Amino acid sequence: MRQSIIQWFRFGSPQSFYPLAGRLIPWFWAAAAAFGIAGLWISFFVAPTDAQQGEGYRIIFVHVPASWMSMFIYLVMAFWAGLGLALNTRVSGMMAQALAPTGALMAALSLWTGALWGKPMWGAWWVWDARLTSELILFFLYLGFMALQAAIDDPRRADKAGAILALVGVVNIPIIYFSVKWWNTLHQGSTINMNKAPSMAHTMLWGMLLMALCFWMYSIAVALVRVRAIILERERHTEWVKHAVA
Amino acid sequence: MQWHSAGEFFAMGGYAFYVWGSFGACAVLMFAEPLLARRRLSEVRRSLIRERLADELELQQKNS
């Protein structure tokens, strides 16, 4: 038991995490591709035309996964940042830094696909509605986190400052999630509700879940590639890096 | 399957611009991001290899 716990802590060191990440990356790419192919097939060829929105509703198959991931990545990023702040583990700060650009990308895709969905359905690219505004704030939180880290030369201090920003920003996540309930918004209610059976066709639901899994696996894969680069950049003066890069 | 021809598929019931604009943006960004991350990794690797070669060269010159 004790031995296995120590095993987990071992991966907190960049030296053992670097090769582990390298071994995991191909598996996550493969999973992303498999879920993506299945998800796209359902999105375009299996899911029926929507009674109200025609074919325009198909944007949901990228809009919802991107929005979910933008929120989920933020929580994971804040978790690693907080862990780094509390335990001073080195890989935690690097993980948080590696996740931020992918989170920002997901938030940007959520806003972009939302605008392209809003225009034909609501008649407006953008409205200052609670859901849209809080998602825009999330996008700015990611950009702020990256800018703050880039502005501080000492990586350990940059991690600490970034962690505080990330943790304060967590309050925005429930605001986004519950915004459609708390305020009277133009944005439709949650697609999937924990308390009642989904109101959409099963094939639509499956397409969305598969696409969400694809986005999830993609995010892990790309963040692991980036964390490997960050590990080498930050540890470049250590002996093990000199041996790892032969 | 609800499509009768490729043209009908690409027209997306009149929503072509919005649907393909959404899926296209996702495809482009999710293709570019891994390339950029990979480039960052190979750049730092290359500079580390250069550094090591320079160290070895220096050592050789000292010894000879």
- Cα–chain center distance at A5: 27
The number of domains in chain B is: 1
In a domain, B32, yes or no: yes
**A92-121 residues touching B, CB cutoff 8 A:** 101-102, 105, 108-109, 112-113, 116-117, 119-120
Contact A241/B at CB under 8 A: yes
Give mean pLDDT, residues B43-64: 91
Quote ipTM for the complex. 0.91
CB contact under 8 A, A245 and B48: yes
The whole-model pTM stands at 0.91
SS3 state of residue A85: helix
On chain B, the residues whose CB falls within 8 A of the CB of A54 are 13-15
In a domain, B9, yes or no: no
In a domain, B27, yes or no: yes
Rounded to whole angstroms, the Cα distance separating A93 from A99 reads 10
On chain A, the residues whose CB falls within 8 A of the CB of B33 are 101-102, 105, 222
Rounded to whole angstroms, the Cα distance separating A17 from A224 reads 10
In which domain, by residue range, is B28 found? 16-63
Rounded to whole angstroms, the Cα distance separating A137 from A65 reads 18
Give mean pLDDT, residues A8-19: 81
In a domain, B48, yes or no: yes
Residue A194: per-residue pLDDT: 53
In a domain, B24, yes or no: yes
A232 touches A17 (CB < 8 A): no
Q: Which of A101, A113, A245 sits opposite B45 (nearest CB)?
A: A245
Question: Is A60 exposed, middle or buried, given 0-12, 13-18 or 19+ CB atoms closer than 10 A?
Answer: buried
Q: Tens of pLDDT along A25-48?
A: 999 999 999 999 999 999 999 988
**A192-211 residues touching B, CB cutoff 8 A:** none
Contact A54/B at CB under 8 A: yes
Question: Is B29 exposed, middle or buried, given 0-12, 13-18 or 19+ CB atoms closer than 10 A?
Answer: middle
Q: Tens of pLDDT along A89-126?
A: 889 999 999 999 999 999 999 999 999 999 999 899 99
Q: Buried b vs exposed e over B2-20: b needs ≥16 C-beta within 10 Å?
A: eeeeeeebeebbebeebbb
In a domain, B1, yes or no: no
In a domain, B11, yes or no: no
Rounded to whole angstroms, the Cα distance separating A44 from B9 reads 9
Give mean pLDDT, residues B28-49: 96
In a domain, B20, yes or no: yes
Q: Tens of pLDDT along A41-86?
A: 999 999 888 888 889 999 999 999 999 999 999 999 999 999 999 9
Q: Tens of pLDDT along A129-188?
A: 889 999 999 999 999 999 999 999 999 999 999 999 999 999 999 999 988 888 877 787
